[in-house]
Structure 1
Amino acid sequence: MRGAILLQLYLLGNFVLFLGERYFGPAHPLRPAVSLAGVAVVALAFLLRLVTALRATGERRRVLLRLIPAYLAGGVGLLLYGLTLPASPFPLDAHTVAIVRIAWPMVWLAGSVPLFFMEMSLRGMWRAPKLETRRLFEAGIGGLTVALVLSWLVALNFVADKKDRRIDLRTLKDLLPSGATEEIVRNLTEPVTVTLLFPPANDVAERIEPYFRKLAALSPHLELEHVDVEMQPKRARELRARQNGAVMLSRGDTHASIRLDT
């Protein structure tokens, strides 16, 4: 069987598995069926490649057998992923699960990327009277190199996520309202609303919010609110705001905005 078909089967199975795990929620009734269907397609691609290799003879057989470890590595990666799921028949402690969550994408990449490179190389010489073992081997080495780089990025991202630190190198650490500004707020006689137009978890919003909270605590006429223009379009229209990244001052139907860098 031609390598292109088996490669397409392998990729299709992984896509279906990804769809089942990411698109459907944990409690969705279709999730187990879709995920198992993806695993079945991956297993079918491996079995067909194995049968094709065993039925071949001579140099062709030796070349095709070189693909089997890549299929196995991809499959082992998926099995390791299965061990991290809550429904796994082999429950693991939290520390082991954390290790497996790092390991499974690395193992999967170490199999799938070289597999893709080798299958594409095999596709280019499938009709040749003799398959070139060296060409396939070099394609696999190139794919493994790419997989190792991607694995390093996966590990680096995991460590960065767990060891997240923020270093503030600014000279001015905190924004404080001046005495004149505080006096203006204390003397307010009409309601004024300060609206921070920023998406959630925005660095700029986190820096300026304490400033306005201190002012809001000085007068019952000053109100502070947060609005995400994209998530709260109705409120944004009332404020005549078109995009995030601004502070809106409102008094009745009068609005004035101050643009800030986001």
Structure 2
Amino acid sequence: MKIYVCVKHVPDSAATISIRDNNRIEEKITFLMNPYDEHAVTEAARLRGQIPGAEVIAVCVSGPAAENTLRSAMAMGADRGILVCADRRLDSMLTARALAAAIREDGAPYLVLAGKESIDAEGMQTMFRLARHLGVPAATHVVKVLPEAGGVVVECEKEAGSRDVLRLTAPCVIAAGRGLNTPRYPTLPDILKARKREIKKVDLDQLPMEKPAGSMEILSLEPVSENRVPREITGDAASMARELVRILREEAKVL
């Protein structure tokens, strides 16, 4: 059985990011695997041990530099990788179609995992679009996965700490939340072994898929401007509490 893990090549959130040409970032910075996808890779490797004959395949749609991210996924437990080579920035509509086409071309999926969102775009759409193109059910913000005959039972974290428990028939798409596990970070031997594992490269334009009728384009990017002004609240506990509530209600308007 094949377990696919969709991983994204994203800028390091600790890097100093500069905007170029009004709508793109300077790419001469550190890129890495999307942190939410680390949970997905770790879970896929765990599930492989519980599903007889399972194989974990990491899939990425990006430029040639994303080979490093696939190597990271393999060092964390993936058996091999597929890189869909794209020379341009893709929106979630085209990315989902490319992932679906690459997976179908490689084989029949039993499970497809990914992070619930990416730290760069934060669109949280790709996995639902992927499930649509594969014609399978999907669950997001998953924090527990229990395999069973013919599928999985998952727990999805909701607001205020509540959870939904869902039974998904396989194949299905599972979008991992941070509470799913603690990512398994590779050792030096894992990294060295990953360098020798297979990465299949497929050109985006060669995939058998229809282009979406619509598209989404980033028109401009702007750095976040923080204009915070600290304010000291003094007095006894009761008066400070009243003043804090007033500020939240009348000025911040969050109450």
Name the TM-score, length of structure 2 as normaliser: 0.26
Q: Which has the higher contact order (CA 8 A, sep 6+)?
A: 2
Give the structure with the higher percent strand.
2
Give the structure with the higher percent helix.
1
